[in-house]
Amino acid sequence: MNPIGRFLSGGRPPALPALLPVLLLLALLVPAAAALRAQSQAERALRGQYLFDAAGCFGCHTDEVHGGQRLAGGRALETPFGTFYPPNITPDPIYGIGNWSDADFIRALRHGVRADGSPLFPAFPYTSYTLMDDGDILDLKAYLMAQKPVAQPNRPHELKDPFGWRVLMPAWNLMYLHVGPLDTNPRQSAQWNRGQYLVRALGHCGECHTPRDWLGGLDPHRALAGIPAADGGEAAPNLTPDPDTGLGRWSEADLLLLLEMGLKPDGDVVGGSMAEVVRNTTSQLTLADRKAIFAYLRSLPPLTAAGPTPPP
């Protein structure tokens, strides 16, 4: 038995010359392992950048109007329930998510719970992000952790009672949160399943285009059927293939042009928050992903918009 083998079997420690090959091997392997981990994180961050755009993180977490720093939060989001101020999601360890573990980040997107254990409000669309798979969630986290940390405190929400009571959120989640991830439909094509994932999970289109009840829960029977301005906040058009009030008369080329450039079939351009979505999100998608969105939306049952929603 060699000296190292005798030592591992309980014998005397080997002399230094006998350890030199092992020490040399460790000296080569440890930096190599660290380099592989760094490379893996860089690759995850690169994939995460695409997911970041597809999920629309920039728009909500950057107060562009007031010159806010990137992803440092503070943008005012007006809703019928009050004003939400999205938080700092830079890797700052005090005010951002710099100290969040992978499990913390997954729990926030999957279950709507912050790293400190307190519930999030659904103005953060975790009811859609819950449908993301773990790999995509961690790729998104890798990208955020590679950004510049900003030491900016988060601004408290200004909500009407009882909508600002976090203690009520577990009950709300029991009623409205359907924990993911999203299952693949084996009866549908890969393109259709990709479109479903983009619309329902990453793009969270239903959060703006689906009516809500008085508690803020999405109406599953009216998914993507549009929101009249009378419901409070900005109106949103019907995305189902209804020929009169939805996208039923739109061709694939029509929708691709809108998603890439914000141009409607009648020559008008989108405005309001959708213009921002086109600029920051849908125009950043690959052509294949934009086609997948069309394939999924076209397959939905047509629903007539309830009320005066804006024309698609």
Question: In which band, very low, low, confident or very high, does the pLDDT at 40 lie, cut at 50, 70 and 90?
Answer: confident
DSSP states of 105-128 as a string? Answer: HHHHHHH-B-TTSPBPPTTS-HHH
Q: Give the bridge partners for 263, in sequence order.
A: 269
Tell me the three state secondary structure of residue 154.
coil
Q: How far is CA 95 from CA 150, 161, 166, 207, 271, in A?
A: 8, 26, 20, 27, 33
**Tell me: the pLDDT tens digits for 251-301?**
999 999 999 999 999 888 988 889 999 999 999 999 999 999 999 999 999
Percent of the chain scoring above 70 in pLDDT: 84
Q: What are phi and psi of 100, to 5 degrees?
A: -75, 135
**Count of CB atoms situated within 10 Å of the CB of 298:** 17
Q: Give the bridge partners for 77, in sequence order.
A: 84
**Tell me: the pLDDT tens digits for 46-63?**
999 999 999 999 999 999
What letter does residue 197 receive in the DSSP assignment? I
The residue among 284, 277, 269 whose CA lies nearest residue 56 is 277
Token readout for 271 is: 């405005």
Q: How far is CA 293 from CA 213, 240, 264, in A?
A: 26, 12, 16
Mean pLDDT of the chain: 88
272-280 helix and 252-261 helix, angle to the nearest 10 degrees: 90
pLDDT number for residue 58: 94
pLDDT number for residue 7: 45
Q: Which helix (H) or strand (E) holds 78?
A: strand 77-79
Range name among 16-20, 25-29, 92-96, 233-237 with the lowest pLDDT average? 16-20
DSSP states of 170-184 as a string? Answer: HHHHHHH----PPPP
- Cβ density class 9-48: b for 16+ within 10 Å, e for less: eeeeebeeeeeeeeeeeeeeeeeeeeeeeeeebeebbebb
Whether 15 contacts 3, CB under 8 Å: yes
The residue among 263, 236, 272 whose CA lies nearest residue 59 is 272
